[in-house]
Amino acid sequence: ILNVEQSPQSLHVQEGDSTNFTCSFPSSNFYALHWYRWETAKSPEALFVMTLNGDEKKKGRISATLNTKEGYSYLYIKGSQPEDSATYLCASDSGSARQLTFGSGTQLTVLP
Partner 1 sequence: DVKVTQSSRYLVKRTGEKVFLECVQDMDHENMFWYRQDPGLGLRLIYFSYDVKMKEKGDIPEGYSVSREKKERFSLILESASTNQTSMYLCASSPQTGGSTEAFFGQGTRLTVV
In the bound state with partner 1, the residue whose beta carbon lies nearer, of 14 and 104, is: 104
What pairs with residue 112 in β-bridges?
Answer: none
How near is the Cβ of 7 to partner 1 at its closest, in Å? Answer: 13
In the bound state with partner 1, the residue whose beta carbon lies nearer, of 28 and 43, is: 43
> Using CB atoms within 10 A of its CB, is residue 72 exposed (0-12), middle (13-18) or buried (19+)?
middle
Q: What backbone phi and psi angles, to 5 degrees, belong to 84?
A: -80, -10
In the bound state with partner 1, the residue whose beta carbon lies nearer, of 60 and 97, is: 97
How near is the Cβ of 16 to partner 1 at its closest, in Å? Answer: 29
CA dihedral 81, 16, 73, 49 (to 10 degrees): 30
Contact in structure between 71 and 26 (CB atoms under 8 Å): yes
Which residues make up the interface to partner 1 (CB under 8 A)?
Answer: 1, 4, 6, 9, 31-32, 34, 36, 41-46, 49, 51, 89, 91, 93, 95, 97-105
How near is the Cβ of 18 to partner 1 at its closest, in Å? Answer: 25
